[in-house]
Amino acid sequence: MLLRHARSLLFLPASNARAIAKARTLPCDMVILDLEDAVPDDAKEAAREAAVTALAEGFGDRIAAVRINVAGTPWHGMEMVAMKGSAADYVVLPKVESGRQVRDVYSVSQKPVIAMIESARGVLAAVEIAGAEGCAGLFMGNNDLRRDLGIPAGAGREGLALAMQSVVLAARAAGIAVFDGVYNRLDDLAGLEAECAAGHALGFDGKTLIHPAQVAVANGVFGPDAQALADARRLIAAATGGAERFEGRMIEAMHVEEARALVARAEAVGL
Ligand SMILES: CC(C)(COP(=O)(O)OP(=O)(O)OC[C@H]1O[C@@H](n2cnc3c(N)ncnc32)[C@H](O)[C@@H]1OP(=O)(O)O)[C@@H](O)C(=O)NCCC(=O)NCCSC(=O)C[C@H](O)C(=O)O
Ligand SMILES: [Mg+2]
């Protein structure tokens, strides 16, 4: 599956064997084995080894990635080296604030990098980061970003809107994928659905997640729904070229391309 087609991107601590086993049973499009904030310092090395083993054992047709620790931590170097020889499809790099950080990880790990934008500096450098050699996608890191911006815990996402739109713009200008941040309230699936819909409307390709119960919600919102898919197929079949009337609205070549992209996404996710 192309990264851009992923709807549900599930984080789990690489130190949690039960979560690794569970992830292999879930309909998520991507798994991200975390070595950073979800893993305590005294478990980092064992988690790195567990991640490499889990990657070798595979995650079926799900995309598999590892979030490593940042440069300057005791684990960063070893993790980059471990990724080079691993079966990871991507390395996720947290707290990125420059294109150089992406290039450094790409040159050692030899894996395409997904950069997390989690600070004011990261947002302001998003264009440079997205355009860096080896950068395959961007994730919002909204927990850290909220704190860095001084937005109180529990506030809505209004204060993050400009940052999120800037990150989507940077990703699109570079032609790479971009994914919304995690939703912390584990038992509030209605709230998650509303946040997925808001992220979809901003242009995000999918949502990063933290719990199995969240997967179906993200798949539902970011997977094309049956009506949109049927509409796209009718549009493709009806189009003859140039501007024309289709079911009461004007369509042109770009609408046909958009409909084809939607059908390709649906096929990629097995709809
Ligand atoms: C948040 C959790 C710690 C909650 O754990 P818990 O209450 O134990 O979960 P459940 O009892 O409801 O679990 C039910 C079963 O599901 C499995 N499980 C739980 N979470 C996951 C998961 N993420 N992936 C796969 N499987 C999972 C449990 O093992 C149970 O199964 P079983 O054992 O067979 O009964 C926990 O959900 C969790 O650790 N989530 C992920 C946390 C994480 O990875 N955090 C890092 C990413 S967040 C981020 O990136 C923030 C960003 O940096 C920012 O700044 O915004
Ligand atoms: Mg973070």
List Cβ neighbours of 62 (8 Å cut-off, separation of 6 or more).
Answer: 23, 28, 29, 30, 31
pLDDT on residue 122: 98
Centroid of ligand 2 to alpha carbon of 69 (angstroms): 11
Q: Is the dihedral of CA 12, 137, 178, 163 positive or negative?
A: positive
pLDDT on residue 33: 98
pLDDT on residue 271: 84
Centroid of ligand 2 to alpha carbon of 225 (angstroms): 31
Are residues 100 and 149 located together in one domain of the fold? yes
Q: What pTM does this model have? A: 0.97
Range of the domain at 46: 3-222
Domain count, the chain: 2
Are residues 163 and 212 located together in one domain of the fold? yes
* pLDDT, tens only, 144-164: 999 999 999 989 999 999 999
* pLDDT, tens only, 106-150: 999 999 999 999 999 999 999 999 999 999 999 999 999 999 999
Are residues 129 and 231 located together in one domain of the fold? no
Half-sphere exposure of 30 (CA within 13 A, CB side): 30
Are residues 88 and 172 located together in one domain of the fold? yes
Question: Where do we find the tokens 């911006």?
Answer: 149
Are residues 113 and 47 located together in one domain of the fold? yes
Are residues 156 and 232 located together in one domain of the fold? no
* pLDDT, tens only, 182-191: 999 999 999 9
Pairing of strands 244-246, 249-251: antiparallel
Centroid of ligand 1 to alpha carbon of 166 (angstroms): 29
ipTM above 0.85, yes or no: yes
pLDDT on residue 153: 94
* pLDDT, tens only, 210-263: 999 999 999 999 998 899 999 999 999 999 999 999 999 999 999 999 999 999
* pLDDT, tens only, 11-42: 999 999 999 999 999 999 999 999 999 999 99
Overall average pLDDT of the 161-184 stretch: 98
Are residues 53 and 146 located together in one domain of the fold? yes
Residue ranges around ligand 1 (CB below 6 Å):
10-13, 18-19, 22-23, 34, 37-38, 94, 118, 141-144, 181-182, 186, 210-212
- List the CATH number of the domain containing 12: 3.20.20.60
Are residues 52 and 159 located together in one domain of the fold? yes
